[in-house]
Chain A
Amino acid sequence: MTDGRKSKTSRIRKARPLSPKKLSATEPSASPGAREDETPSGGGANQAFVDPFQRLIEEKGTRTELRTREFYLRGTNIRAVLLFLNELADSKMINEHVLKPLLINFRLSDEADGANMPSNLLDIIKDRFLTVNDVIKVAVSDVSSHIFHGNAALWIEGADEVLVINTKNKKSRKFAEPLTEALVRGPRLGFNESLQDNLAILRQQVANPNLSVITKHVGQRTKKELAIVYFAGIVNEDLLQEVERRIDNMIELDDIPESGYIEQLIEENHMTLFPQLQSTERPDRIVAALLEGRVVILLDGTPFALIAPVTFAMLLQSPEDYYERWIPGSLIRLLRYFAAFLTIFLPSIYIAFVSFHQGLIPTTLAISIAATREGVPFPSIIESFVMEIAIEILREAGLRLPKPVGQTVGLVGGLVIGEAAVQAGIVSPIMVIVVSLTAISSFVIPQYAGGISMRVLRFGAMICAGVLGLFGVIFYFLILSIHLVKLKSFGVPYVSPAAPIYLSDWKDFVLRLPQKMMTRRPKMLFTQDEIRLRSPTKRK
């Protein structure tokens, strides 16, 4: 239907009469007022002016936010019309920096008089009177999209172009602590939904001209601004080109509401549970990633930025590891790896041992389990499934409930249901322990995307354990490893640096070795400038 974003001729269907209500439903990208029998862009000044604007003015009745301000340039009879959207354009700026100069300070040079308009009147106004930092000249037909972005359009009678003045009054949330990535120690700063604000924060933290930004617009109809951020001089050029290429070749959707859409559209492998781009709303994570040589994608309208490429290790890392000292940091990281293992495999190990290899558990434990399971109607695998699904339901419910209620329901639900189930003899107490341990372990995983994948993986492991016991668990582990090993994120193998082994990268892998030892950027990224830590030079 529409061919490209800049459509000069867009047709409004003949058949339907354009009732005022329907008008607000027409595509904003269509130049308002273009009729099929009209030859657009060109024609006499007056004619070209009046029609589109006339249209808009007429529609004012239905579009109450569209404002017009007609005035005369000071000391002349030249008519000017200012057109803008009410709340989207900053009234203060319009008053102070557009109307005021033109109404009060405007003066043409002495030769001109009211009747004769200099041919470069627009330029004069633009260059000498508008105290605004962003003014461009556009053709009449392009004006409407600018107005809908919050700019103000200034038409001077007799001109065939229109001045578009940046009066965007960006509405955004104040910076707040990121909820999903809370830390004990670290900056409590999170992005907000405004791309400009977010870029500003980044620039503030990295006062380095090498921080480069490439801007694009995505979304057929909503044309959101997207920024690709990278550190020139560090980042690998191939990676950058690949990211750009994928975004350019992205499927054209009407709207890209969240960076998640971008993530799904540019990732290599859809048929996997593992994210190939990391999403975060913490600027400190972004800056660290940039300095490692990764590429970051920011989208207007969401605080979540994307980092590419991603490896499996990153799912289990948290900025806190670096802010605390290295020994606790390393130990906690080890704990996380262990917790990740538990969360995937604990129920399946339970099933495997209780129902297949009873000989492999200590005798006293075997006796207790046998005693407590006496009278439980379900086989262990059914029991596990039921309990795990119940926990997942509780967890999802907890997310949707309002904050004060959510916590209580989570705790109470877990305790009460578990307790009641045990009393009723539906599940064994050991199962409740196993399930709670698994659930708690999954909260240790710092990345939400990673956490989700592992929760799902757990069920596959349980099925395999239920059919083939320990062999099934081993088989599942094998298949999972093979899958991970074949996965790549922007060309970087997902299981780096475990494989291929880049030993120098191991300093930041399972353990977090002292800062002094991390002298190089990750080899797996093949950055331009490898060295990140230089021995201190003498300070005077």
Chain B
Amino acid sequence: MLTNLQDRITSTQTTVLVSSFILGLGILTLPRAVTDETGTPDGWISVILGGLVAMLAGSLLAKFSQCFPGKTFYQYSQDIAGKWIGNIICLYGVGYFTLLASFEVRAMAEVTDFFLLPATPKEVTMGMLLLASAYLVVGGLNAVARLYEGFLPITVILFFLVLFMGFKEFDVDHLRPVLSKGWLPVLQGVKTTSLSYLGLETMLFLPAFMDKPRDSVKAVVVGIGISMFFYVLTVIIVIGVLTVDDVVTLTFPTIDLARSVELEGVFFERYESFLLAVWILQIFTTLSLCHYFAGLGLRHVFANENWFRPFVYGLLPVIYGLGWVPTTINDMFAVGDLLGYLLLGLIVVIPLLLLIIAKMRGMLHANHS
């Protein structure tokens, strides 16, 4: 028992994986994205509602995966739909994850380029982070989960530190009046916010690795809950300090929040470095899990158990290359939107089809224990 921990993850690790995966670029851009949609300071309500939608979706996916114990999405989609269609579905998943990974790494490179290392070529920052990701992923899901578990407390503490510094300039009136234009803008905002919970698709895969699959629903709900808490807090504090009107003019409002406050005399005085450090780590957590799932998919489609490493390394140039496809920063944001639609395909369209086929073939037995 001590010496052979196969890739089994605990429920806590599942929770951490889900929430770390979700938290990524969104922290920086969400305030603007949601306020653009709603036009009111009620964006935070949209965030909460979006979170609830995501929890529902995540639970459904988890339950669906529980019907096929021990098998990942790649495996049971083949079982349901046959080898060839299953392969196509797998490749769709692989493509989605690869694209997501490249998006995250490019976003990271852009932000680093702005605020930390203007003269350093983005190739270097992207390349190094990708290599780190490969280093982690070849250690298997266990290593990935352990790393995320280790990072979560650090992230939480530093992030809260930075956010609460903004309190000096926080003005509740910036968030009022609440629901001045009614619920319609809020519901419009939910469109954007629910997609920023990009990460619940992991529930198509993770229950296969859990040592207690029946906890998967609880795990995903708590995981989304954690990220929802972060998002809500971010949106509230950012809008509270910067006001709705200003937020929609800024590219990365959260960083501007950190830059607009100076704590005189308290050691560093300027704390955006902490925010950026935390954020880079969060991007990395998203990036490496995508890398892992993409590698997993490739392995499933093309090879057998022993061939994980070559796929992991082989994906590196692909992710890197895809990262360079968007030429302007607007293109990059467009990729983000595209990923939202692909996500819908992955978690709504395909599972629905699979559900129907599975029901028709009588494959769904009562395994919801």
Judge A-B direct contact (beta carbons within 8 Å): yes
Of the listed stretches B94-102, B270-278, B291-299, chain A binds: B270-278
Given A236-B2, A485-B139, A526-B2, A500 contacting B277 (CB threshold 8 A): no
Contact assessment for B268 and A360 in the assembled complex, using a CB-CB cutoff below 8 Å: yes
Contact assessment for B3 and A242 in the assembled complex, using a CB-CB cutoff below 8 Å: yes
- Residues of B within 8 Å of A526, CB to CB, are 1-2
Contact assessment for B280 and A499 in the assembled complex, using a CB-CB cutoff below 8 Å: no
- Residues of A within 8 Å of B132, CB to CB, are 475, 478-479, 482
A292 → chain B closest CB, angstroms: 14
A471-520 CB contacts (< 8 Å) to partner B: 471, 474-475, 478-479, 481-482, 485-486, 490-493, 495, 498-501
Residue among A357, A361, A482, A500 making CB contact with B10, cutoff 8 Å: A500
Given A471-B117, A475-B128, A490 contacting B147 (CB threshold 8 A): no
Docked Cα-Cα span, A212 to B68, in Å, equals 47
- Residues of A within 8 Å of B265, CB to CB, are 362
Contact assessment for B129 and A475 in the assembled complex, using a CB-CB cutoff below 8 Å: yes
Instruction: Say yes or no: is A463 at the interface (Cβ < 8 Å to chain B).
Output: no
Contact assessment for A499 and B149 in the assembled complex, using a CB-CB cutoff below 8 Å: yes
Given A474-B277, A481-B151, A500 contacting B2 (CB threshold 8 A): no
Interface residues of B, count at CB 8 A: 43
Contact assessment for B272 and A482 in the assembled complex, using a CB-CB cutoff below 8 Å: no
Contact assessment for B136 and A360 in the assembled complex, using a CB-CB cutoff below 8 Å: no
Given A238-B3, A481-B151, A501 contacting B10 (CB threshold 8 A): yes
Given A481-B151, A500-B149, A491 contacting B5 (CB threshold 8 A): yes
A345 → chain B closest CB, angstroms: 11
Residue among A470, A482, A492 making CB contact with B143, cutoff 8 Å: A482
Instruction: Say yes or no: is B177 at the interface (Cβ < 8 Å to chain A).
Output: no
B145 → chain A closest CB, angstroms: 7
Given A470-B273, A501-B13, A481 contacting B1 (CB threshold 8 A): no
Given A471-B112, A499-B149, A492 contacting B2 (CB threshold 8 A): yes
Instruction: Say yes or no: is A450 at the interface (Cβ < 8 Å to chain B).
Output: no
A11 → chain B closest CB, angstroms: 43
A57 → chain B closest CB, angstroms: 54
A475 → chain B closest CB, angstroms: 6
A161 → chain B closest CB, angstroms: 45
Contact assessment for B280 and A485 in the assembled complex, using a CB-CB cutoff below 8 Å: no
Instruction: Say yes or no: is A469 at the interface (Cβ < 8 Å to chain B).
Output: yes
Given A491-B4, A500-B13, A478 contacting B281 (CB threshold 8 A): yes
B113-147 CB contacts (< 8 Å) to partner A: 116-117, 120, 124-125, 128-129, 132, 135-136, 139, 142-143, 145-147
Contact assessment for A485 and B117 in the assembled complex, using a CB-CB cutoff below 8 Å: no
Contact assessment for A470 and B3 in the assembled complex, using a CB-CB cutoff below 8 Å: no
Docked Cα-Cα span, A481 to B144, in Å, equals 11
Instruction: Say yes or no: is B284 at the interface (Cβ < 8 Å to chain A).
Output: yes
Instruction: Say yes or no: is A525 at the interface (Cβ < 8 Å to chain B).
Output: yes
Docked Cα-Cα span, A485 to B152, in Å, equals 14
- Residues of B within 8 Å of A491, CB to CB, are 2-5
**Do most interface residues of chain A lie in helix, strand or loop, or is the interface mixed?**
helix
- Residues of A within 8 Å of B146, CB to CB, are 485, 493, 495, 499-500
Docked Cα-Cα span, A498 to B150, in Å, equals 6
Contact assessment for A469 and B128 in the assembled complex, using a CB-CB cutoff below 8 Å: no
- Residues of B within 8 Å of A359, CB to CB, are 270
Instruction: Say yes or no: is B269 at the interface (Cβ < 8 Å to chain A).
Output: yes
- Residues of B within 8 Å of A525, CB to CB, are 2
Instruction: Say yes or no: is B188 at the interface (Cβ < 8 Å to chain A).
Output: no
Given A500-B146, A501-B10, A361 contacting B268 (CB threshold 8 A): yes
Instruction: Say yes or no: is A218 at the interface (Cβ < 8 Å to chain B).
Output: no
A220-250 CB contacts (< 8 Å) to partner B: 236, 238-239, 242
Instruction: Say yes or no: is A106 at the interface (Cβ < 8 Å to chain B).
Output: no
Contact assessment for A360 and B270 in the assembled complex, using a CB-CB cutoff below 8 Å: yes
B169-208 CB contacts (< 8 Å) to partner A: none
B8-50 CB contacts (< 8 Å) to partner A: 9-10, 12-13, 16
Q: Find the B residue at minimum CB distance from A484.
A: B150
Docked Cα-Cα span, A525 to B273, in Å, equals 38
Instruction: Say yes or no: is A459 at the interface (Cβ < 8 Å to chain B).
Output: no
A488 → chain B closest CB, angstroms: 8
Residue among B12, B117, B135 making CB contact with A500, cutoff 8 Å: B12
Contact assessment for B273 and A357 in the assembled complex, using a CB-CB cutoff below 8 Å: yes
- Residues of B within 8 Å of A475, CB to CB, are 128-129, 132
Q: Find the A residue at minimum CB distance from B151.
A: A481
- Residues of A within 8 Å of B267, CB to CB, are 362
- Residues of B within 8 Å of A495, CB to CB, are 146, 150
A271 → chain B closest CB, angstroms: 13
Contact assessment for A360 and B2 in the assembled complex, using a CB-CB cutoff below 8 Å: no
A286-332 CB contacts (< 8 Å) to partner B: 309
Instruction: Say yes or no: is A148 at the interface (Cβ < 8 Å to chain B).
Output: no
Given A468-B124, A471-B116, A360 contacting B273 (CB threshold 8 A): yes
Q: Find the B residue at minimum CB distance from A496.
A: B146
B339 → chain A closest CB, angstroms: 24
A352-372 CB contacts (< 8 Å) to partner B: 356-357, 359-363
Q: Find the A residue at minimum CB distance from B259.
A: A359
30 residue pairs from A and B, CB less than 8 Å apart: A236-B1, A238-B1, A242-B2, A359-B270, A362-B267, A362-B268, A468-B117, A468-B124, A468-B125, A468-B128, A470-B277, A474-B281, A479-B132, A481-B151, A482-B132, A485-B146, A485-B150, A486-B136, A490-B2, A491-B2, A491-B5, A495-B146, A498-B150, A499-B145, A499-B146, A499-B147, A499-B150, A501-B12, A525-B2, A526-B2
**Besides the contacts A471-B120, A475-B129, A501-B13, what 14 more A-B pairs have beta carbons closer than 8 Å?**
A239-B2, A239-B3, A362-B265, A362-B268, A468-B120, A469-B116, A469-B117, A481-B150, A481-B151, A486-B139, A493-B142, A499-B13, A501-B12, A501-B16
Q: Which 5 interchain pairs have the tightest Cβ spacing?
A: A491-B3, A499-B149, A499-B146, A491-B2, A362-B269
